C-alpha cells in the first residue's frame, strides 16, 4: 500500500476531460504519485484505448463496489448517476491501494508541479479542506443567489445533526479532496455498522459525501485534523469566472495558491464525448446562459 495516490471516478461522457486531466498530471507529477481512474465496466475498453500510453491504472467501478460489505450492487445501479458516483468515490479506500487518496473530478486540471507535500502534512496525514465558505456565500448573496446560501445551510445542518454536532457550519470542499482510509473506516465502524447501514444508505439519506467524511473526522478523530483552504481554484458558477476574468486574474497568479483549476463541465459541453448532447437550440441556450452568468 502506498502513502498517497490520485484517483478520479469518471464515465464515457467525460472521456476528453479525463484525457486533459491525465495530460496535466503527466506533465506536473514530480514524484510519480500513482494515478487511478475508475469507470463502469462498459467503458473500460474506451478509456484503455485513450489512456494506454499513460501511467494511469484503470479500474472498474464494479470492482470497487464489490469490495464493500453490506452494499447492494443492484440498488447502487438504480441510483441516479450523480448519487451513485459518490458511493464509488467514497468506497475506493477499501481496495487497500493507498492510505490517502486525492479524489479528483474529471474537469480538474493541474497548473503547476505538485508533490506529496501539497496534500500531506509533515506527519504523513492529509490536509483537510475546511472553512465556512464565506467567499462563496458572500458572492452568492451579492448576486442574489439566495438558493445557494439556503442549500449550504440545509445540507450542513442535515449531516451535522446525524452526528449530534452543535456549532458552526463547515464546508468540507470543494473538490479535489485528500481522504484518508482511517476516516472512512471510522465512519463505517462507528456509525454505519451499528445501524446496519451501507454507505449507499448514508448517501441516500444525505447525498453529500464530503460532509460525511468531514463530520466523521470531527466526530471520531481517526487522524489529526490539518485544516487547509481549497487545493484547486474552483469556479462553481459562471459569474465567479467572469468576475475574475474582468479583474485580470491569470493562471500564473492562481498557481501561487493552488495546484490546479476546475471549470465546471456544464460550461464546456463541447468536450462531451462523443459530442455535445441536445439539439441546436438547446446548445445555443446553454451558450447564452453561460454568457449571462446563469450557469
Stretch 206-224: mean pLDDT, rounded?
Answer: 98
- Cβ 25 vs Cβ 110: under 8 Å: yes
Instruction: Say if residue 145's pLDDT is above 90.
Output: no
Which value, in Å, is the radius of gyration of the alpha carbons in the chain?
19
Query: What is residue 211's three-state secondary structure?
Result: helix
User: Is 232 contained in some domain?
Assistant: yes
The string of pLDDT tens digits covering residues 274-292 is 876 655 555 555 555 555 5
User: Is 104 contained in some domain?
Assistant: yes
User: Is 154 contained in some domain?
Assistant: no
Beta-ladder partners of 228: 129
Cell 457550519, located at residue = 169
> Which of 122, 133, 97, 98 has the alpha carbon at shortest distance from 214?
133
Instruction: Say if residue 210's pLDDT is above 80.
Output: yes
User: Is 142 contained in some domain?
Assistant: no
- Cβ 31 vs Cβ 3: under 8 Å: no
pTM of the model: 0.91
Instruction: Say if residue 68's pLDDT is above 90.
Output: yes
Residue 63 CB burial class (10 angstroms; 0-12, 13-18, ≥19): exposed
Percentage of residues of the chain with pLDDT beyond 70: 92
- Torsion-angle region of 96 (φ positive above 0: left; ψ -120 to 50: alpha; else: beta): left
The string of pLDDT tens digits covering residues 163-197 is 999 999 999 999 999 999 999 999 999 999 999 99
Asked, as a colleague might, if the bond just before 176 is cis with ω within 30 of 0, I would say yes
Instruction: Say if residue 254's pLDDT is above 70.
Output: yes
What is the count of structural domains for the chain?
1
Show the CA angle centred on residue 49, arms to residues 45 and 55, nearest 5°: 105
Q: What is the CATH number of the domain that holds 218?
A: 3.90.550.10
DSSP 94: G
User: Is 140 contained in some domain?
Assistant: no
Domain coverage including residue 109: 2-130+172-291
User: Is 194 contained in some domain?
Assistant: yes
Distance from CA of residue 137 to its chain's centroid? 20
Contacts of 228 (CB under 8 A, 6+ apart): 127, 128, 129, 130
Tell me how long the chain is.
295
Between strands 35-39 and 57-60, the pairing is parallel
Between strands 177-180 and 98-104, the pairing is antiparallel
User: Is 8 contained in some domain?
Assistant: yes
User: Is 15 contained in some domain?
Assistant: yes
Cell 463541447, located at residue = 270
Distance CA 124, CA 196 (A): 32
pLDDT of residue 184: 98
Distance CA 122, CA 154 (A): 35
Amino acid at each position: 500500500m502506498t502513502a498517497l495516490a490520485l484517483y478520479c471516478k469518471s464515465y464515457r461522457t467525460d472521456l476528453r476531460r479525463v484525457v486533459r486531466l491525465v495530460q496535466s498530471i503527466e506533465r506536473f507529477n514530480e514524484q510519480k504519485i500513482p494515478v487511478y481512474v475508475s469507470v463502469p465496466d462498459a467503458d473500460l475498453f474506451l478509456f484503455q484505448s485513450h489512456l494506454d500510453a499513460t501511467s494511469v491504472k484503470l479500474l472498474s467501478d464494479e470492482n470497487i463496489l464489490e469490495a464493500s460489505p453490506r452494499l447492494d450492487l443492484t440498488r447502487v445501479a438504480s441510483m441516479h448517476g450523480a448519487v451513485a458516483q459518490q458511493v464509488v468515490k467514497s468506497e475506493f479506500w477499501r481496495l487497500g491501494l493507498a492510505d490517502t487518496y486525492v479524489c479528483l473530478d474529471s474537469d480538474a486540471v493541474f497548473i503547476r508541479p505538485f508533490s506529496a507535500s501539497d496534500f500531506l502534512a509533515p506527519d504523513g496525514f492529509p490536509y483537510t479542506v475546511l472553512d465556512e465558505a464565506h467567499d462563496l456565500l458572500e458572492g452568492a448573496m451579492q448576486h442574489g443567489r439566495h438558493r445557494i446560501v439556503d442549500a449550504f445551510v440545509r445540507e450542513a445542518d442535515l449531516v451535522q445533526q446525524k452526528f449530534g454536532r452543535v456549532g458552526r457550519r463547515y464546508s468540507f470542499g470543494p473538490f479535489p479532496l485528500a481522504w484518508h482510509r482511517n476516516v472512512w473506516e471510522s465512519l463505517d465502524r462507528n456509525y454505519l455498522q451499528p445501524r446496519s447501514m451501507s454507505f449507499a444508505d448514508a448517501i441516500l439519506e444525505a447525498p453529500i459525501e464530503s460532509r460525511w467524511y468531514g463530520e466523521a473526522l470531527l466526530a471520531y478523530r481517526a487522524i489529526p485534523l490539518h485544516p487547509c483552504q481549497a487545493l484547486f481554484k474552483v469556479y462553481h458558477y459562471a459569474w465567479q469566472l467572469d468576475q475574475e476574468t474582468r479583474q485580470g486574474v491569470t493562471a500564473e497568479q492562481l498557481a501561487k495558491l493552488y495546484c490546479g483549476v476546475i471549470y465546471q463541465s456544464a460550461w464546456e459541453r463541447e468536450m462531451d464525448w462523443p459530442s455535445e448532447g441536445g439539439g441546436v437550440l438547446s446548445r445555443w441556450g446553454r451558450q447564452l446562459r453561460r454568457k449571462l452568468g446563469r450557469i
